[in-house]
Amino acid sequence: MSHMYDKYAKYYDILYSDKNYEEECNFIESVFNKFSIEKPKEILDIGCGTGGHMIILLNRGYKVTGIDASKNMAELAEKKIMTLGLHGNILAEKMSDFKLDRSFDAAICMFAVMNYVTDTDEFLKSLLNIRKHLRNGAIFLFDFWYGPSVLHIMPSTRIKIVEKPNIKVIRTATPEIDTFNDIVISHYYLMAMNGDRVVDELKETHVLRYYFPQELIHFLKTSGFEPLTFCEFPNIERKPSEETWNVAVVSRAV
């Protein structure tokens, strides 16, 4: 079964070449330092994508296992890790279904991956599966689209243009919002160009659910987690506001 990011995968690193993975990994470690009972050694990276966070964490001495629902994304991550001479395990599995005969000291789920789980039952199933793979006291960190902010700012059409040697990528995102179901439907059109020549075109629709703090507190507690804090992403010291589109929640496996 194909995944929405399978076609998108080859342009992913180009589109997000401006993403500050180092800063985000600093944030992840600040969460570990503040909330972990013991410093984590083995991390589960859920929705690892092409390995942006995973590679940095491996270089910082952690053992990391990556999970991604897109086979193409997982293969790209594995290739990058091998090229760099690093050692990390990667599985192409859904977060609700993966099975590993081991447990971890911490789990991360970055870049709004949890927003792609739009069904409440599937969300709870995913949380329960993640909890099953964590040791007692392990930290679980994820970021998400903050409902109060989404409704305050409202999604709008966005155009992103990235130029690299021999390629120019133009992506348009046109959103629709469904406030009854708390979802944003983003219609993506991507065009890749070499000079004046169009070499590729893609159209995809991504459906993301924005979440509210009280429902997440309920879901986490129901799934065996103790919610510890909500903060702006990636600033552990700042509380969310209606201007904070991306929020991180930190919880502990109990």
The pLDDT tens digits of the residues spanning 184-234 come to 999 999 999 999 999 999 999 999 999 999 999 999 999 999 999 999 999
48 within 8 A of 68, measured Cβ to Cβ:
yes
- Looking at residue 245, what is its pLDDT? 98
Report the domain count for the chain: 2
Residues 16 and 115 in one domain: yes
Check whether 143 has a pLDDT greater than 80. yes
d(CA 162, CA 28): 27
Residue 7: pLDDT band by 50, 70, 90 thresholds?
confident
Evaluate the omega torsion of the peptide bond into residue 148 and state whether it is cis, within 30 degrees of 0. no
Please provide the average confidence, as pLDDT, over all residues in the chain.
Answer: 96
25: its two tokens: 């990994």
CATH number (domain holding residue 188): 2.20.25.110
**101 lies in some domain:** yes
Query: pTM (2 decimals)?
Result: 0.95
**137 lies in some domain:** yes
Question: What is the arithmetic mean of pLDDT over 37-43?
Answer: 96
Residues 122 and 243 in one domain: yes
Beta strands in 3-62 (DSSP E): 42-46
Question: What is the arithmetic mean of pLDDT over 156-172?
Answer: 97
Residues 23 and 130 in one domain: yes
CATH number (domain holding residue 18): 3.40.50.150
Question: What is the arithmetic mean of pLDDT over 93-116?
Answer: 97
Residues 118 and 216 in one domain: yes
Check whether 1 has a pLDDT greater than 90. no
**188 lies in some domain:** yes
Q: What is the pLDDT of residues 46-71, one digit of tens each?
A: 999 999 999 999 999 999 999 999 99
Residues 157 and 113 in one domain: no
Residues 248 and 203 in one domain: no
> What percentage of the chain has pLDDT greater than the value 90?
96
Residues 98 and 222 in one domain: yes
Residues 121 and 227 in one domain: yes
Question: What is the arithmetic mean of pLDDT over 32-43?
Answer: 97
**2 lies in some domain:** no
Q: Provide the Cα torsion 6, 17, 239, 177; round to 10°.
A: -50
Residues 102 and 72 in one domain: yes
Which residue range forms the structural domain that includes residue 163?
A: 149-208
